[in-house]
């Protein structure tokens, strides 16, 4: 690599200012950045719907009282393309959710991070390579 | 000596042709034909790429990456786009929405190694808006600020599942659902877009455009064949279909050419004198993809709309003394 192309590579490495591409809607309008929340629950229902998937979980509090929460994810189309189906996350599975609570204070949160209790990722992830897939 | 000169000239010609091919401009390969004799563009295609529409300011004067630069750029963008990262402010964290596995934006730049999709103007940037268009953009922004969450009608078109800013026309890659299916029938071409799930039906039988008082979200497309290229002209956009600041005067010309078995070169030209100080042009080599497309019944599951409005009402309540 000559000096000028090395300089360009350095410039490229600094190109970190671009605004990330957004989801279907602004999550900042729906969820409260000041209300981070961590939930541990069992999967009660999986809605693989567009524009966003919703995973419903039952969460038990310290007194043993169970309440239902709805967790928002992304489009199911991406998951289907990677072989994920509604059977991939069976009802009754225990999951951990780290996200932000809905601004209206109801039992909804975005699934900023969703993992199994042993730390394993539920979904095999990352941007798929470019076509042909 | 003469022989040497001739050999050199031939070698130079081969090199020139080879470099044209890298640009996707060589049409030496003959595409298959449909039963009615048109170039066959049918199949599933993807435009997933991390090549930006506009050339980043840092790359001014550099229309193409070298191989090493391309690799570095791909690495940098992969790190920047990684939604599993949790650094930055809580606002940035919320904006990243969810883990990386939901996203599907591609990992590579276009194979021509261009640093921008825009090829004209030569600086790879969208030309400035006219003062009238700037005024309209500012007006719309102010309206959105004041009426941010009055009701569903004042929310962005994408959030209402009406129109996605990249689903087209013109068709640009987005964060996921970058898949397109082309189906041809005598006198028609249909383009199904996975994002927002619009089927654009394009007559190619020479009929005129709709009357100018008929306005449509996706405009009114008419196609024609020029050699191996499908040329589509779209007019009659609504004044709410604002592609990068365009207005209802937008005249969009798209060109689709199969340049090899796995590539559909997609070019578009934006002409809107009332909105841009000059026309501009972009190109994206689309790549053959495995189907099928999945349905994107956007509004059926649009809980987000309700939640955004409920969030706004709750905030208003909290703000009251």
Ordered DSSP codes for B53-69: SS--GGGTT--B--HHH
Residues in A closer than 8 angstroms to B99, CB to CB, are 111-114, 121, 123, 125
> Which among A14, A50, A103 has the least Cβ separation from residue B296?
A50
> What pLDDT is attached to residue B121?
98
Assign B20 a pLDDT band (cuts: 50, 70, 90): very low
Q: Which secondary-structure segment (H or E) carries A94?
A: strand A94-102
CB B176, CB A77: distance < 8 Å: yes
Alpha carbon distance B137, B154 (integer Å):
15
Q: Which of A2-11, A114-123, B36-45 has the lowest mean pLDDT?
A: A2-11
Q: What is the pLDDT of residues B61-112, one digit of tens each?
A: 999 999 999 999 999 988 888 888 888 898 888 888 888 888 888 899 999 9
Q: How far is CA A58 from each of CA A42, A49, B18, B108, B228, rounded to the nearest angstrom?
A: 5, 20, 61, 40, 58
Assign A5 a pLDDT band (cuts: 50, 70, 90): low
Q: Which secondary-structure segment (H or E) carries B13?
A: helix B2-22
Alpha carbon distance B320, B56 (integer Å):
44
Whether residue B126 is predicted with pLDDT greater than 50 in this model: the reply is yes
Q: Look at residues B253, B254, B209, B208 and name the one whose alpha carbon lies nearest to residue B41.
A: B254
Answer whether A74 sits within 8 Å of B159, measured CB to CB.
no
Q: Is B67 on the interface with A (CB under 8 A)?
A: no
Q: What is the pLDDT of residues A13-52, one digit of tens each?
A: 655 444 445 667 778 889 999 999 999 999 999 999 999 9
> What pLDDT is attached to residue A119?
80
Alpha carbon distance A1, B263 (integer Å):
30
> Which among B58, B102, B159 has the least Cβ separation from residue A75?
B102
SS3 B132: helix
Answer whether A5 sits within 8 Å of B69, measured CB to CB.
yes
Q: How far is CA B320 from the centre of its chain?
A: 43
CB B204, CB B69: distance < 8 Å: no
Whether residue A81 is predicted with pLDDT greater than 90 in this model: the reply is no
Both structure tokens of B145: 């600020």
| Its pTM surpasses 0.90 | no
> What pLDDT is attached to residue A124?
54
Helix axes A3-13 and B67-81, enclosed angle (nearest 10): 10
Nearest CA in chain A to B286: A131
> What pLDDT is attached to residue B321?
75
CB B45, CB B102: distance < 8 Å: no
> What pLDDT is attached to residue A19?
45
Q: What is the pLDDT of residues B157-204, one digit of tens each?
A: 999 999 999 998 999 999 999 999 999 999 999 999 999 889 999 999
Q: Is B60 on the interface with A (CB under 8 A)?
A: no
Whether residue B10 is predicted with pLDDT greater than 80 in this model: the reply is no
Assign A64 a pLDDT band (cuts: 50, 70, 90): very high
Whether residue A8 is predicted with pLDDT greater than 70 in this model: the reply is no
Interface subset of B 75-94, CB within 8 angstroms of A: 76-84, 86, 89-91, 93-94
Answer whether B107 sits within 8 Å of A129, measured CB to CB.
yes
């Amino acid at each position: 690599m000559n000096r000028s192309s090395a300089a360009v590579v350095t410039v490229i490495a600094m190109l970190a200012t671009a605004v990330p591409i957004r989801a279907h809607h602004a999550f900042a309008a729906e969820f409260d950045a000041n209300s981070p929340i961590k939930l541990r629950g069992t999967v009660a229902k999986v809605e693989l719907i567009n524009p966003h998937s919703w995973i419903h979980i039952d969460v038990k509090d310290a007194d043993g009282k169970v309440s239902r929460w709805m967790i928002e994810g992304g489009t199911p189309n991406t998951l289907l393309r990677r072989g994920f189906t509604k059977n991939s996350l069976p009802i009754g599975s225990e999951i951990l959710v780290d996200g932000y609570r809905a601004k209206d204070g109801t039992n909804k949160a975005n699934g900023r991070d969703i993992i199994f209790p042993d730390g394993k990722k539920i979904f095999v992830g990352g941007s798929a390579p470019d076509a042909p897939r | 000596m003469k022989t040497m000169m001739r050999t050199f000239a031939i070698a130079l010609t081969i090199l020139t042709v080879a470099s044209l091919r890298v640009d996707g401009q060589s049409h030496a390969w003959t595409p298959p034909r449909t039963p009615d004799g048109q170039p066959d563009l049918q199949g599933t295609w993807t435009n997933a790429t991390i090549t930006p529409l506009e050339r980043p300011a840092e790359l001014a004067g550099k229309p193409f990456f070298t191989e090493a630069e391309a690799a570095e750029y791909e690495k940098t963008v992969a790190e920047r786009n990684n939604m599993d990262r949790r650094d930055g402010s809580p606002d940035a964290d919320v904006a990243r929405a969810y883990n990386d596995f939901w996203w599907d934006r591609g990992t590579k730049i276009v194979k021509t190694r261009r640093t921008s999709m825009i090829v004209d103007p030569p600086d790879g940037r969208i030309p400035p808006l006219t003062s009238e268009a700037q005024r309209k953009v500012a007006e719309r922004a102010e309206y959105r600020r004041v009426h941010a969450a009055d009701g569903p009608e004042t929310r962005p078109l994408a959030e209402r599942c009406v129109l996605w800013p990249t689903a087209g026309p013109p068709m640009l890659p987005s964060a996921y659902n970058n898949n397109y299916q082309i189906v041809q029938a005598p006198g028609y071409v249909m383009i199904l877009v996975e994002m927002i799930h619009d089927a654009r039906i394009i007559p190619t039988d020479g009929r005129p455009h709709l009357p100018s008082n008929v306005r449509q979200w996706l405009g009114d497309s008419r196609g024609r064949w020029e050699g191996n290229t499908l040329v589509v002209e779209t007019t009659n956009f609504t004044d709410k279909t604002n592609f990068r600041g365009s207005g209802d005067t937008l005249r969009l010309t798209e060109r689709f050419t199969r340049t090899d078995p796995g590539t559909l070169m997609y070019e578009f030209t934006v002409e809107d004198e009332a909105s841009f100080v000059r026309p501009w042009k972009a190109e994206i080599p689309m790549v053959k993809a495995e189907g099928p497309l999945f349905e994107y019944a956007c509004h059926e599951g649009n809980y987000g709309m309700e939640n955004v409005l409920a969030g706004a009402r709750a905030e208003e309540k909290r703000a009251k003394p």
